[in-house]
Amino acid sequence: MADLPMSQGKRAKAAGPGLLTRLAMSPRFHALAERIPGFRGKARAEGRALFDVVSGFVQSQALLALVELRLLHRLADGPATLASLAQASGVPEARLTILLQAGAALKLVRYARGKWHLAPRGGAFLTVPGLEAMVRHHDVLYRDLSDPVAFFRGQTTPELAGFWPYVFGAGGAADPDLAARYSRLMADSQGLVAADTLRLVDLRGISHLMDIGGGTGAFLRAVAVAYPSIRLTLFDLPAVVAGAQVSPQVTIHPGSFRDDPLPGGHDGISLIRVLYDHADATVAALLRKVHDALPHGGRLIISEPMSGGAQPDPATDVYFAVYTLAMQTGRTRSLAEISTLLQAAGYEAIRPKPGPRPYVTSAITAEKPAK
C-alpha cells in the first residue's frame, strides 16, 4: 500500500525547526555572531527584545505603582524633588528612587538639575483617554495570572470575570454601581475607538444608525459630529443607558440584545467593542438577530481590537486575548474569524478593514443581501 500523504503538522515535526530557529538554538552561532559586526547588532537587539519579554511583568507593575501613587500626576504640575515626592507618596526615598529610575527607563519620567520631570511619554499616558483607567484595574488581571499555568489549564476562577458580570446577561448589569464602573471605563477609551472607526468606515448612505451595546453613547456622539444628518439610536441595557449623554438626534432604546427584540427602521447597525465580550454562540446569535433587523441592503459595522490571525499581533494576541480569556465569556477574534461568522449569518459584501493601531481597533463591514 502506498504511503498516505503526511499532514502539514507531521511534516513540520519530521523536518524539525527551521534554519533560523536552529541557528538561534546554537550557542556556537551566538558566539560567532558576537564577533561579526553585521550580526552583532541584530543579535544584541534580539537579546534585548527577549529580555523585554522576560521583564515585561515588572514593567507593568512599576507603571501601576506610578499610577496608584499619582507620581505622574504630581509631576504634571511641575518638576519636583525626590524628598517632596517621597513625602507626598508615603514611599521612603531609597525605594522611591528605584521606582522613579524604573519610570525613567520606561521614558515616563526623567531626572534633570536635581528634580524629577514628567517626560513626553508620561504626558501622553495621562492624556490618552482610558489608559489610566485601564491600568488602575489591572491589579485584578495580575491576580488572575498569579498562577499562569493553572489559568491556561482552566483550573482557576478568574476574578476578572466578576468585574464584568454584565456579559452573563441582564441580571449582572441590573446593579447600577456595576454598570457605572463599566460605563466609565469603556467611555474613557471609546473616543479613540470612535475616531479610528470613523477613519476606517464611511457611513455615507446610512440614514438611521443604531449602535447596539453603545454604553453611554460615546461612539454616537462622534458620529453625530461627523454625520449631523444621520438619525441615531442607542441600544443597551437599562442600567447602562441610564447614564447616557447624547445629542438631541439620538434616541435611547433600553434593552438586552439577548432577550429583547431589536427595534426596526435602521439601515445601519454598529457593534463597537461588543463581539469580543461574548462567546461564539452568543456572537452568532447576535449577528443573525442584527441580520433579521436590517432591511435588504442594510449595513453592519463591527469595530474592536482583533487578533492578528496568521500574523499574531503583540498587543491583541497577548493583551486582549488573555484579557478576554480571563473574562471567561469573551474571545479576541481575527478579521478572518469574524468574516466566517458573518458569512454563516447570511451577510455579503464583507470588507475587512485592518486598523493602523490594532491595539485601539480594527473594523469590518458587511451588508444584508438585496432582494
> How many domains, in total, are found in the chain?
2
Are residues 72 and 66 in contact, defined by beta-carbon separation less than 8 angstroms? yes
One domain for residues 227 and 119: no
Cell 465569556 sits on residue? 329
Q: Which of 31-35, 175-179, 249-253 has the highest mean pLDDT?
A: 249-253
- List, for residues 28-71, the tens digit of each pLDDT value: 766 666 677 776 777 677 777 777 888 889 999 999 999 999 99
Beta-ladder partners of 243: none
Q: What is the pLDDT of residue 165?
A: 57
Average pLDDT over residues 244-254: 87
Average pLDDT, stretch 343-359? Answer: 95
Residues 205 and 69 in one domain: no
Same domain, 174 and 308: yes
Q: How far apart are CA 182 and CA 289, in angstroms?
A: 25
What confidence score (pLDDT) does residue 241 get? 85
Single out the residue of 65, 233, 75, 221 nearest to residue 139, CA to CA: 65
Instruction: Identify whether 333 is part of a domain.
Output: yes
User: Does the pLDDT value for residue 259 go beyond 80?
Assistant: yes
270 Cβ contact partners less than 8 Å away, ≥ 6 residues apart:
209, 210, 211, 212, 214, 219, 300, 301, 302, 303
Where does the pLDDT of residue 167 fall: very low under 50, low under 70, confident under 90, or very high at 90 and above? very low
> Could you tell me if residue 155 is inside a domain?
no
Same domain, 102 and 224: no
User: Would you say residue 157 lies in a domain?
Assistant: no
Instruction: Give CA–CA dist 328/163, Å, rounded.
Output: 11
**161 Cβ partners below 8 Å, 6+ apart?**
326, 327, 328, 329
Residues 171 and 119 in one domain: no
Residue 195: predicted pLDDT: 92
pLDDT digits (tens, 9 = 90+) for 286-301: 999 999 999 999 999 9
- The Cα–Cα gap between 74 and 239 comes to 35
Does one domain contain both 102 and 201?
no
pLDDT in tens, 87-116: 999 999 999 999 999 999 999 999 999 999
Domain of 30, CATH number, reads 1.10.10.10
Alpha helices in the chain (DSSP H): 8-15, 19-24, 27-35, 37-68, 71-76, 82-89, 93-105, 120-127, 131-136, 138-144, 148-153, 160-163, 170-173, 176-200, 218-226, 238-241, 280-293, 321-327, 335-344
pLDDT at 345 over 60: yes
In a domain, 237, yes or no: yes
What's the domain range around 226? 162-367
Q: Tell me the pLDDT of the chain averaged across its residues.
A: 86
**Are residues 297 and 206 located together in one domain of the fold?**
yes
pLDDT reading at 144 higher than 60: yes
Query: What pLDDT band is residue 4 in, cutting at 50, 70 and 90?
Result: very low
Whether residues 46 and 107 fall in one domain? yes
* Amino acid, single-letter form, for residue 242: A
Do residues 194 and 63 both lie within one domain? no
Least confident piece of the model among 63-77, 107-121, 243-257: 243-257
* The pLDDT value given to residue 182: 59
3-state DSSP assignment of residue 271:
strand
Confidence of residue 168 (pLDDT cuts 50, 70, 90): very low
Is residue 294 domain-shared with residue 206, that is, in the same domain?
Answer: yes
Asked if residue 3 is part of any domain, the answer here is: no
In a domain, 343, yes or no: yes
End residue of a domain, out of 76, 108, 124: 124
Q: What is the pLDDT of residue 164?
A: 64
Residue 22, pLDDT > 90, answer no
Looking at the fold, whether 327 and 217 belong to one and the same domain comes out as yes
Are both 108 and 170 inside the same structural domain? Answer: no
What is this structure's pTM?
Answer: 0.82
CATH number at residue 234: 3.40.50.150
CA nearest 233: which of 258, 261, 214?
214
E-state strands within 239-282: 250-254, 268-272
260 part of a folded domain: yes
Q: How far apart are CA 283 and CA 333, in angstroms?
A: 11
- Evaluate whether residue 192 is within a structural domain: yes
* 84: pLDDT strictly greater than 70: yes
